[in-house]
Structure 1
Amino acid sequence: MTDLLFTLYPWVKSLHIMAVLSWMAGLFYLPRLFVHHVEQAQSVEGASEIFTMMQGKLLYIIMRPAMIVAWVCGLIIVATPGIVDWTYLWPWTKGAAVISMTGFHIWLAKRHKDFIAGQNTLSGRQYRLMNEVPTVLMIIIVLSVILKF
């Protein structure tokens, strides 16, 4: 099994990076769609339904599969012997940030359901502020992996 993990490692790592990029793009864009939905949808008839459809496609067709692939590949990388040294702090900070990012993803999915139900209570400003969450988490993850502190 170890030989297989070492053989697949460059492929799994490449797929992991591509999945993370796709997931992050969605995590950056979906809150912006929420901002526009809150601030613009009332001014054009039918716009709310269009925003809701766009949000759903982004969330379920792009973001969710990308998140799953990122997690699966990440766990395979962690299972590859010699890749992660758990005596350092960096795998723990990265792990905490990835779990937080997953929590943010789930939070966004709940907000999408609020829009579907017509029960959104957040403002465009609040969604703009929440849009900074994935940026902070990305910084923690990248610095953890590159600097390996």
Structure 2
Amino acid sequence: MKKTTKRLMALLLAAVMLLALAACGQKDAKDDGKVELPVADGAVIGTGATAITVEVQGADGKSVTFTVNTDEETVGAALLKLGVIAGEDSDYGLYVKTVNGETADYDKDGAYWAFYVNGEYAMASVDAYTPEAGTTYGFHVEKAEG
């Protein structure tokens, strides 16, 4: 009986150690705030007091529209934080290369992401606009002429 108890205790201890090691080996489950792409049409993402509408028209001409809730100071910061856009800094502000998981490659075929505010071509970069409730911010793949 003593032998059986010792074996059972050793097995139990090994199981506990295995579970502890497995838990230590897992990545930190901390939420980084990024959303799963592509964002679906009609989705509501983010958290914050200001709700903006984002409309994305890809190279195939199909559009999705979703709502972004944010407390960020710029539209660019809000969308970068959520992972909806990606790009690089330039002399003119954030040069957006990827939107909702789709990349436009100007060097390859002259395609780029044009930025719109309430249907009008924006006069500045996405990181120059303060999020305003009820405003629609759009990204459309366009091709340079020539």
Query: Whose Rg is larger?
Result: 2
TM-score normalised by the shorter chain: which range applies? Answer: under 0.3
TM (norm. structure 1) is 0.24
TM (norm. structure 2) is 0.25
Question: Which of structures 1 and 2 has the larger relative contact order (alpha carbons within 8 angstroms, sep 6+)?
Answer: 1
Higher strand share: 2
Higher helix share: 1
